[in-house]
Each structure stands twice: as C-alpha cells, then as structure tokens.
Structure 1
C-alpha cells in the first residue's frame, strides 16, 4: 500500500519515506512538505524499490524494523537503483546499535531517532540534500570534462592528421627538388627511408620515434640543395676544396629543417648521417653512442642501397655483398647492435621493400607522360 501525499508546489528536492507505520509516514510528510521538500511515502520496501525504477530521489529515509525486509537490506537494494541518493535511517532508540553498524558499513549517511526532534530532522535532511546535490553536480562536471576531453582529442587528432598530410607534402616537395638536381640518386631517398623504418622496428624502436628515423633517412641529403651544381654533378673526382663544400651538406640540411617544427627531431639524423661508430666520420667526428640511433640505423641501410642499386659506373651487387660489408665494417663504421638487428632480417623483406618503391617509380614515370588532365597521384609504397 502506498500512502499518496500531495505537495502544494513542486519541491526542489525529492525525499522517499519508507515505514510500515502510516502515522509515522504522515507525520514525516507534513514536516518535510512544510519545509519545502517533495515527498513520496511507502509502507513497504518493495513498493519503494519499484518506485525507484521511475524516480530518482535526493534522499531516502527508512525505518529499520519492517516486515519482509529490514532497513539496512532495503538500503543495500536501493543503492543499485539510486546510487546518488543519500540514505537516512529513522529508528527507535533500542535499534541504535544496529544503526551504528549500518553507518560504519557505509550504507547509511545519518541516523535519526524516533521520536525525532523537528529542527534536528530538517537540518539533517537539508545537509543530506546538499550532499546529494554536490554529488550530482560532481558527476555532471565529470561527464562534461570527459565530453570536452573527447572533443579535444578528436580536434587534436584532426590537427595531427592535417600536420601529417602537409608535412608529407612538404617532404615530397623537398625530395623532388633534390631529385631534379641529382637524377642519379632518384628514389634512393625513398628506399632508404623505408629500409630505416624496418630496421628501426627490428631494434624495438616505437612510434613516434620510428617515423622520426624514417623522415631523417628520407631527408638525409636535403642539404645538397645548397651545394653548387658544379660540385654536386661533377662526373669525376672532387678536389680537396670541393670535398670541403660537399661535406657541408649535413649541416646545411640540419639548418634547413630547423625552420620546420615538425621536422626538427628528424634533423639530427640528417646532421649525423655521415658519422661513424669509431669517430672517423663527419661533420663532428662523433663516436659510438654519441651518434643518434637514427643516424646509426641510416648508416647500414644506406650501405644496403648503395651496394644493391645499379649505378652508371657499375651494376648492383647481390645481398651477400651487403652482408659481407656489414660484417667487415661492424665496430668501425657500424654500431654492432644495429648490425646484429640488420642481419637478423631476411633478405626477402629488403627485396619486397625495394620492389614496392620500384613499382611506385614506374607508375610515376608513366604518370609524367600523360596529359595533366589524366594524371593521378600514384599510391605510396606499402612497406611501412
């Protein structure tokens, strides 16, 4: 049986009252409604639990001794349906020991003795409503923060994708500019960048560092844009003076990339890609771990590409020649740990990467012969 009580106005806070004594329910309802609270009164815990599926009170006040289900059991069941409600136990003095145990277990916010003191009762319920309101507000703010964080992550992802796309376009433009000047090394940069990615993964390097190494390998010779054609394209041996100019290209490339925020981390690979493990490289003569790992990775994949690629003055040699060279130069030119990782990768994987780049090169050559209206960008090599 539900005792229906009317309130003259819609109250700001709703209080559920549960007691098997209808007189107690009426008395509690009058006191609370006169103070501006809304009430729902129930003679059994089962009726109250059913009502909790439809309404969400701020406060639940329950008797302890009731047939079928005591107040503590009712509070435990109500927590599932109304986790945000504050629970108050209204009980006779002889039930205080049980009530204290309920408070200690966390099922009850406060206890109110029967017969109650009206001002004390209203103060307790007022505090309970405020606690419930603060809890709801905290939940609302938490959800709002989560929503805003999700929006922020989505915005950041969109910005990162935009930066990535624009950076990739910039990379392609820089490499194309270099390729136009030095046709002999066309596609070399693309091959070594993908080789470097694969070797970095073998070493256990993770993102975003893998992409940093890849970008550094792709742009390793970008400083040659600042080298005179008479030096860069000279068919014969370089003079001592010309070598001085040529050996400046790592520093020129590093300086160029300092102006692009997204590529600054890759610039160190560009600066150090001619350094050697034993300290005999240039431009700074770094030794061992002083050389960044990306540049140590590049040193080996650059050798791989140099040996296996056809040049005007010689044919490319088989992978066995690369293996021999890596073994011979480990500890002098190459980092022993990087050499070990390189030699652990099957030859077939290097062949697959090379074939992917060659396929893109053929497509690009065919594309360049078509009228502009028929041109489409070829797919990038799928070797990452």
Structure 2
C-alpha cells in the first residue's frame, strides 16, 4: 500500500481538481476518480493509504462505496466529504465503522490537511501494529517449538533417570526384579479404567514404578534378610516410603509422583504406614497401587512360595474391599478382563527374557538378530 497515496472520488471534476491541488501541494500523491466503480477497480492494483469520497454521487452513494472499499482494503483510512444537509447520514457511517473521519463542504484547507495526515498516521500505526503482532506470533511459535523440544528432552532424560533408579534397586533386591515395571503398567491400566486422564495417569505410572525406591536407603542386612525381621529391623524397613519421598523431592518432574511413593503402604481402613491415613486422605494413585501391588505379589513366584492363579488374586482383592482397599478401585479392577492383566504380565516377562538373553550373549551381527521378540524368546526356550 502506498504510504502517502490518496484516492479522491467525486462526480464533480472541479472538486476533484481542487482537492488534488491542495493535497499534491502538501506532498501527498493523489489519484482522482469520477466513478466509484472505477475507484473500486483500482484498489487492488494501486492500493492507497487514504480514500476520500463524496457522499452524493449518481451511481453509488459515498457510504456504500466506502463500505465496499473497506471490504476490499480494510487497512485504508476512509474519509467522507459531505455537505451539511447530509451530515446526519455521514455521522451514522462514522458510528458504524465505515468511515474514519468526515470533512464538510466547503472544507477548511488546514482541517483537510490535518485530517488526511492523521488518517495516514493512523494507517501507518495500524500496519506497524499488525507487523509487531505478526512478529510476536512468530516468536511465540518459536518459543512453543523450543518448549516442546525441551519437554521432550526432559521426558527422555527423566525416563533414563527412572530406568537407572529402578535398575539400581533391582541389583540390590533381585527377588523383586521386574516387579516395579509390572505394577507401573498395571497401575496405568487401572487408572484408565477409573477414567483418569493425562497428565495424572503418567504421574500414577511413575509413582508405581518408583514406589520402592526408598529401599535404596535400607541396609542390605535388613533388605536382603532371608528370615523374619526383628522389631528394630522392621522399623527401619518401614521408613522406605519416606526415604523414597525425600529422594524424589530433588527431581521437579517427579515431585507429584513422590506423594504416591510416600503413601503406597497406607490402607483404606487407616491401618497402614507411615501416617496411618484413611480413605480418601490417601491419594488415588496410592490407592490404585495398593490393589495392583497385591495382584502382582500373589501372581509372582517368590523363593518361599509359587505364584498363585489370577483368580485367587481377584478373590483376595474382593475380600479386602472396604478394609485394605478402596471399594471404587476394587470395582474398577474387577471390571478389567482377566486376560488384560495376563497380557501385561506376559509383555514384561518377554522384555525380561530378552534383556537376560542379550546380557548373556556376545554382540551379534546385524544379520543374526531375530526379527521379533517372540523369535528370540522361542530360541532361548529351546536352548
């Protein structure tokens, strides 16, 4: 758009020449049109900063013309030049937003120049505002993209941190290796059944995955003791939820999950530890964990007993509904088809077997790597 170009539209050529002479003399570049239709056709190919239009014209009145001009070129300032008897109509046009200013006939030269100058300044400010708004939007888009990349980096590094923490615990307590990974996936599935969405569902998964991380701070003589714990040893063991909570306070991304770690041994009836919380005083993530922890404990092999069938675990969870477990969480657990729990367990077991297989074997050439986990699992079974 010409920053100082002015269109003048009037069916009276004498008025056109008079207005053009004043404005050209002040340094503006004018284009004159006796026909509104001709002026509209010129808007696209030669857009002005200001349009001055007469009101009374034979084929189209000035308000109608400026309304159409606004639709085609909304950034141009529109000025209506009208006689006193048409002032009321012109004022309505100003109020409706079709016209920026009114110039009365006969006009005062200084008033005319001041009005056109103000109109051009207003158009320039509007263009600058649009430019700055676009620049801010572009910068916001760039910041949003950077934030997304940073969030992805945080997720990746947090996942690596989680794996490192769990691996450290697994090395100390081989008896429960892969237990944390199973209960984290069980907890996610049960949270979905309860209608919980993101980001809460990931927080619950992380809390379940890290529930025993505080055992890193328990002495080996207590953690790995094969027989029953003495009273003082049991007191030390019962500190692991608080130890885990304190450990995770140093990681901002895991702070919300740390509440689940702190409360994962609380019971619905208030008989748990460390704070003997009751009912909904316990966060829902810990209530979910308590159920799936029982599921995994009963259906996993331990040195002192064999795994029990899933049906036994479901019956035990139902038996403890309203005492050890939140009734609503139990109902959601029982609503999940048993084969889904079995599938989750099988998925983790497959990963465990693959991990053990890769740890025992020397590096393979690319051509020797099986194409799918089941192939590798079958080969290990046959070995």
- Fold conserved (TM > 0.5)? yes
- Unpaired stretches in structure 1, ≥5 consecutive residues: 1-9
**Partner in structure 2 of residue 254 of structure 1:** 245
Q: How does 1:1-384 map to 2 (within 5 A)?
A: 12-371=3-362
Q: Bigger shift: 31-40 or 170-179?
A: 31-40
Deviation sequence 1:112-144 (CA, Å, 0-9, x none): 122211111111112222222222222222212
CA drift of 1:11 comes to 7.6
Residues 24 and 148 (structure 1), Cα distance of their counterparts in 2 relative to 1, 3 Å cut: same
Structure 1: distance between partners of 2:307 and 2:46: 80
CA drift of 1:379 comes to 11
CA drift of 1:229 comes to 1.5
Deviation sequence 1:132-161 (CA, Å, 0-9, x none): 222222222221221111111111111111
Structure 2: distance between partners of 1:304 and 1:157: 37
CA drift of 1:12 comes to 4.4
Structure 2: distance between partners of 1:374 and 1:281: 52
Task: Report the count of equivalent residues.
Answer: 370
Secondary structure of the 2:31 match is strand
Structure 1: distance between partners of 2:372 and 2:82: 77
Residues 164 and 325 (structure 1), Cα distance of their counterparts in 2 relative to 1, 3 Å cut: same
Residues 234 and 374 (structure 1), Cα distance of their counterparts in 2 relative to 1, 3 Å cut: farther
CA drift of 1:310 comes to 2.3
Residues 11 and 34 (structure 1), Cα distance of their counterparts in 2 relative to 1, 3 Å cut: farther
- Is the CA contact (8 Å cut-off) linking 2:3 and 2:120 kept in structure 1? no
Structure 1: distance between partners of 2:173 and 2:107: 95
TM-score by length of 2: 0.91
TM-score by length of 1: 0.90
Deviation sequence 1:27-49 (CA, Å, 0-9, x none): 21221122222222222222222
Structure 2: distance between partners of 1:349 and 1:43: 80
**Partner in structure 1 of residue 380 of structure 2:** none
